[in-house]
Amino acid sequence: MTFITHALEFLACFAIGAIPFAKIAMWGTGIDITRAGSGNPGYRNVSRVSTKPRAYFTLIGDMAKGFVALMIFGAGEPQHLQWLMGVAAVMGHCWSPFLGWNGGKGAATTAGVMLFLQPAVTAAVLPLYPLLRIVGSRKGWKQEGAISTLTTMSVVATAVFLTGGAAAGAFAFVILAIVIVRHTPNLREIFGVQ
């Protein structure tokens, strides 16, 4: 495989990650998901402004594109290239050219990437997310969705580091950093920073 071939594979993963499933889910409604609700093109916002089926379509699509990008281009490749493709898919979701270089917060696409690269660890940790959502809702946490997402993703990254080695863990934390950056407005509200 040449450098150019790998570069094209990374671009393809970025393009798959950039597919705006939230936008597609809202076709026929007359609602621009990037302007409605929080403006975030993701599952949570679609569930707020539209129907549950459209929200679940968004969630499944956003997870699937991370998994499918790696299934198509990452199968049989060295681990470090697979991780780089995963990073590309998450970046495509977060900075989609189809949405004017804007995008979602990366959690669902990250979950899809992690399910491909570290299926056992990810499947074991992901149930933490709905559990935290339930606790946060009952306790009245501010930004309980963001807290649940970032906590779960942090545990996944840490578990990958502990079980998959330093290299895999480093890539997992790079992806986590992207998700954290995309949650900056939520973190500002949590910590009361203007």
| Domain range list for the chain | 3-191
Residue 1: predicted pLDDT: 58
Instruction: Give residue 193's pLDDT.
Output: 78
pLDDT at 29: 95
The pair of structure tokens assigned to 69 is 């990008």
* Contact yes or no for 156/120 (Cβ under 8 A): no
Can you give the pLDDT at residue 194?
Answer: 66
The predicted structure's pLDDT at residue 42: 95
> What DSSP assignment string belongs to 41-109?
-SHHHHHHHS-HHHHHHHHHHHHHHHHHHHHHHTTTS-HHHHHHHHHHHHHHHHTBGGGTSB---SHHH
Residue 3: per-residue pLDDT: 87
Mean pLDDT, 10 residues at a time, over the chain (194 residues)? 89 98 96 94 95 97 98 94 98 98 97 98 96 93 92 97 95 98 93 78
User: What single-letter amino acid sits at 52?
Assistant: K
